[in-house]
Structure formats: structure tokens, C-alpha cells
Amino acid sequence: QSVLTQPPSASGTPGQRVSISCSGSSSNVGSNSVNWYQQLPGTAPKLLIYINNQRPSGVPDRYSGSKSGTSASLAISGLQSEDEADYYCAAWDDSLKKLLFGGGTKLTVL
Amino acid sequence: EVQLVESGGGLVQPGGSLRLSCAASGFTLNNYWMHWVRQVPGKGLVWVSRINGDGSFTSYADSVKGRFTISTDNVQNTLYLQMNSLRAEDTGVYYCARSLRTAGNVLDIWGQGTMVTVSA
């Protein structure tokens, strides 16, 4: 069981807005920035959002991130079929002294 | 083009050893933190280890501490993971990843992964 808790699945129809949550604690999300990774089927993970709400070059502004206290969330607006993927949150944990990943959320576009 | 290419995976018996390599191109390893991340097919991502740019600092997940060693060769511009005393639970796809220069735990470039299977 992951220290960072994500819902195992999420879904939406094309054009909808979906949100994926990531819940942690004071030693990880509460004190460090959160990053989000997208993993398309059969491929390596890709950085999607970093330092809570920053988008790397090339990532559409349909993707956004936020953080409040010990929780973070990833929002995807204008859902498209190519958004169907696994999404992982990640944060450093000051107590465990390791990088933590959430268990991942499988997003299905209906 | 900035790229990471892993190699060295394969089938190994429990108790055996394997050395993974991650060849970097388009950037110089000694300017970045580098990480190894494991993923059992169909499961989530698990952080394994990291090393700083000059190789002076390393850290490991508890599950591999004392058995795995991360290192870099800045002449070859290659990252390594020496894996000893392998166990069935070490099985998975191993990705190397580069961090942002300004944020050592933000993994901005990933390799394609190399599969390690520990089985008798």
C-alpha cells in the first residue's frame, strides 16, 4: 500500500473535466512539492506537472496541478481519448528519506 | 537530443547478480541527479536509488540497501546499477531517469526501461 494515496481509477467522457487526487502526510506532500507523471500504455512515464503546478514545455494547458496542505490534485480539462493513461503523483518524504510514488490512477475516456 | 538508453536486463536466478547500464546522450551526467525506478508490469512505480552529479552522494530504498549500488562513469556518461543477491521481488522493469538541474527529485527525462526477471 502506497504512502501517497490515489484513487485506482477515474473516468470521463470527451470534453469533460476530471480530477485525480493525491493524499499524503506532513513529511511528504505537506512539506515538499508534488510532481505528476503520465504513463501511456506500453511506454515509460513522462513528467506532466512539476513543483505542484508547473507544466514542462510541450505539455498542454489542459493539464493543471494544485496542492493544499497534505493533498494535491491533477486536473485535466477538455478530456481527449489520448489522455487515457496511468497517472502517478510523487513527492520526497523527509522522514523516510526516499522518493514516494502514489499507487497510480488509471484514467479511462468513455 | 536528450536521451537515456538502458541495457543489461535479463533473467537471473535468485541470489545472482546483474549490472544495469543507462547511457546518457545530449547532456552531461555530472550536472544532474540521476535515479533508478522499478515497475512490476501492471503495477505502480517504485523508487530504487539516486545519485548526485559528482557521485558523492547516494541513497537507496530500504528494500535494496546493502544489495544494490548506484554509480556513474562521467567519461562514458553512463549511469549504472549493480544488483547483487537478487530476489524474486526485485523483478520488474527498471527505468533510469534524470532530474531537473534545479530540483533533484523531479524526473524530467526517462529511459525506455530494461526488464529484470529473478526466477529459478
Would you say B99 and B35 are in contact if contact means Cβ atoms under 8 Å apart? Answer: yes
Q: What is the pLDDT of residue B79?
A: 98
| B99-114 pLDDT per residue, tens | 988 888 999 999 999 9
Q: What is the pLDDT of residue A45?
A: 98
Assign B83 a pLDDT band (cuts: 50, 70, 90).
Answer: very high
Instruction: List the single range of A1-5, A16-20, B50-54 with lowest mean pLDDT.
Output: A1-5
Would you say B114 and B93 are in contact if contact means Cβ atoms under 8 Å apart? Answer: yes
Judged by CB atoms closer than 8 Å, whether chains meet at A44 and B113 is answered as yes
Q: What is the pLDDT of residue B76?
A: 95
Closest approach of B95 to chain A, Cα-based (Å): 8
Q: Which residues of A touch B (CB under 8 A)?
A: 2, 32-33, 35, 37, 39, 44-47, 50-51, 56, 88, 90-92, 97-104
Task: Say whether pLDDT at A2 is over 80.
Answer: no
CA–CA dist A49, A76 (Å, integer): 11
Length of chain B: 120
Q: What is the pLDDT of residue B103?
A: 85
Residue B33, judged by CB atoms within 10 A of its CB (0-12, 13-18, 19+), counts as: buried
Determine the residue among B45, B48, B57 to mutate to test chain A binding: the one whose Cβ has the most chain A Cβ atoms within 10 Å. Answer: B45
CA–CA dist A83, A20 (Å, integer): 13
Q: What is the pLDDT of residue B23?
A: 98
Query: In whole angstroms, how far apart are CA B1 and each of A4, B4, B86, B96?
Result: 33, 10, 34, 17
Q: What is the pLDDT of residue B102?
A: 85
| A44-67 pLDDT per residue, tens | 999 999 999 999 999 999 999 999
CB contacts < 8 A, A to B, total 58
Closest approach of A88 to chain B, Cα-based (Å): 8
Closest CA to B70 of B40, B37, B46, B25: B37
Q: What is the pLDDT of residue A92?
A: 96
CA–CA dist A64, A73 (Å, integer): 8
Q: Which of B45, B105, B106 is facing A45, going by the closest CB pair?
A: B45
Would you say A21 and A72 are in contact if contact means Cβ atoms under 8 Å apart? Answer: yes
Containing H/E element for A102? Answer: none
